[in-house]
Structure 1
């Protein structure tokens, strides 16, 4: 239940000459969790905190300040907007979408941001040199998602990259989407005691978001899966006692442990060996790359990275969920 505005809040609003109960969040000019990490994480954390506090505020997001937004970050942004609606029961409307920078407007329109938040903006044209599979969202790891993505992918007009009909048909079968989604549901949204973990009580709906972007000029496909659960490192900390809870073990260590575990807790169809399956595309092409942002950890995996093929860091601000991005090279075809 939301709190009522008290006299102290009214007095503060009067002194500062601001509208009572109004909060405006302004993202950085370059909103990108992969490259402008700290400023982008700060914005997402502020947005999450504004929702979790459930204060009697009128929250507004000034997206017009953004000059450029990345594909993966646009999926994360959509997820947060929908999270607000699921909690509050009403949509969070972006401010003045007609005034957005062209790249931002085109990206958000192409991934289906406005449709997902029930705020269509058909006047904004889509970029012609790239193709998007609009955001798909759900609450279960549905194997039919593979068929849906295959159908949408096959319908795209492909000109500048060489991928055989057979490879097009089997592409999504080779990519661990179902494994990624199933992991997000089973591990990101566990049943936890609200007394022990009160921070996870606000949002318990098991939901994921998936989208794909095809770049004909570069011959690449990017697929992003987002969940807003407890994060991979927190799941490892709670449920895997093999890693002692010492000060030497941080989020990036827990994330790499999950990726090296090579274990599966299920024997279901379309399921594999956990994160080892999620990282499998890196073995298919030297330019394939997997990025995982979860909690305080950011990690990248590729054949081009020396050693075990992965590197990562701990950020000072956590991402309140998990984002997995597969960057797949389509030319030459996957083997």
Structure 2
């Protein structure tokens, strides 16, 4: 399961889980024995989808099945991220951390008050490695992402489609000195909320003629610099959040950093290495229902 190497199959599985919990009745089994590897992003998406499942189907009991047959590295990563707590499963085998593998931080979820969870996630990251450089920039990026969920993501959503929450987590690779930080929600997505926002006119002007309904162009334009500071909430400072706090965390880092945002039909990526920047925004084969934000920072620790 990986959004880079196997996007179609990964998102298809998550959509199948959601369909099953919304439309089907009776016993449902998701066979994870066949999963041979899982990335940090895919792990958080799976945890969030199953946590959503748990909240929607409180009368049913979710449990792990044939756990002893799972791929050990997959089982260990999901355990560290808190997956088996979602399933209320105990006595999960202890698996060793192999050389070069990522360590995961247990997920956090909520609806409001993002400051405390952002600080707690940062603390969890630092428990696995060095103190994070640009600590305040990471904090502000996380708070901005979670605040966007509270103020925008679920505002126009219709129907009973699950909990109105965000999920956050992170992974650290001490050998590669790399940190991955992630936020996901199951809202309507950035590309659908921007046309209703106070910044839409400035965003629209940055989109090529004929592409005003293309998600990839909408999201890329949302991260472009402009002089309009007003968001959907009407607060003058809120409109800057995507580019100044979420994208700004990568811009402020002195080493190699990457930002990825997958939302609706858009896959936006921005990277910075010293003074060299690269930015792309493409369409994905299967729409992502919500918004996924990921920062990957190399040499993230303070000297």
How far apart are residue 125 of structure 1 and its match? 2.1
Per the alignment, residue 12 of structure 1 pairs with none
Matched-pair contact (CA < 8 Å) for 1:141–1:185? no
Q: 4+ residue stretches of structure 1 with deviation over 6 A?
A: 244-247, 305-308
- Which residue is 2:263 aligned to? 294
With over 3 angstroms needed to count, the CA separation of the structure-2 counterparts of 1:171 and 1:92, relative to structure 1, is farther
SS at match of 1:104: helix
Q: Structure 1's 307 and 314: CA in aligned 2 closer, same or farther, altered over 3 A?
A: farther
- Choose the corresponding residue for 2:240, options 269, 273, 278: 273
Distance 1:307 1:328 in 2: 15
CA-CA distance at 1:91 after TM superposition: 4.2
Deviation at 1:79, TM superposition (A): 0.6
Give the structure 2 partner of residue 14 of structure 1.
Answer: none
Q: TM-score, normalization: structure 2? A: 0.82
Aligned to 2:118: 146
2:210 is the counterpart of 1:234: no
Unaligned runs of 5+ in 2: none
Which of 150, 163, 168 is the aligned partner of 1:185?
150
Query: Aligned to 2:73, which of 98, 103, 106?
Result: 103
Residue aligning to 1:4: none
Counterparts in 2 of 1:210-289, with a 5 A limit?
Answer: 210-239=168-197, 242=201, 243=204, 248=211, 249-260=213-224, 263=229, 265=231, 273-276=240-243, 277-283=245-251, 284-289=253-258
Q: Which is greater in Rg?
A: 1
Aligned 8 A contact 1:109 1:126 in 2: no
CA distance in 2, matches of 1:98, 1:49: 27
Q: What is the TM-score with the length of structure 1 in the denominator?
A: 0.75
Report if aligned partners of 2:256, 2:299 keep a CA contact under 8 Å in 1: no
Contact 1:75 1:111 (C-alpha < 8 Å) held by counterparts: yes
What does residue 134 of structure 1 align with?
A: 106
1:154/1:56 CA distance change after superposition, 3 Å? closer
Structure 1's 217 and 236: CA in aligned 2 closer, same or farther, altered over 3 A?
same
Instruction: Give 2:137's aligned residue.
Output: 174
Residue 247 of structure 1 deviates from its aligned partner by 6.5
The Cα of 1:59 is off from its aligned counterpart by: 1.8
Partner of 1:43: 13
Task: Please list the CA deviations of residues 76-114 of structure 1 after superposition, one character each: whole Å capped at 9, or x if unmatched.
Answer: 001110111111113433432221112211111121111
Check conservation: 2:156, 2:188, Cα contact below 8 A.
Answer: no
Cα deviation, residue 171, structure 1? 4.2
Q: Shift in Å at residue 66 of structure 1?
A: 0.8
Indicate conservation of the 8 Å contact 2:40/2:104, yes or no.
Answer: no
1:75 CA drift (Å): 0.4
**Aligned twin of 1:317:** 286
Give per-residue Cα distances to partners, 1:273-329, cap 9 Å, x unaligned: 221110112221341001111111112110259996311211221122211111112
Matched-pair contact (CA < 8 Å) for 1:139–1:205: no
* Structure 1 residue 58: Cα displacement: 2.1
SS of the residue aligned with 1:68?
A: coil
Q: 1:76 aligns with which of 45, 62, 67?
A: 45
Partner secondary structure for residue 74 of structure 1: helix
Q: Does 1:329 align with 2:293?
A: no
Aligned to 2:127: 155
Alpha-carbon contact 1:110-1:126 (below 8 Å) kept? no
What number of residue pairs does the alignment pair up?
286
Structure 1: runs of 5 or more not aligned: 1-30, 193-199
Secondary structure of 1:235's counterpart equals helix
1:322 & 1:305 partners in 2: Cα distance? 28
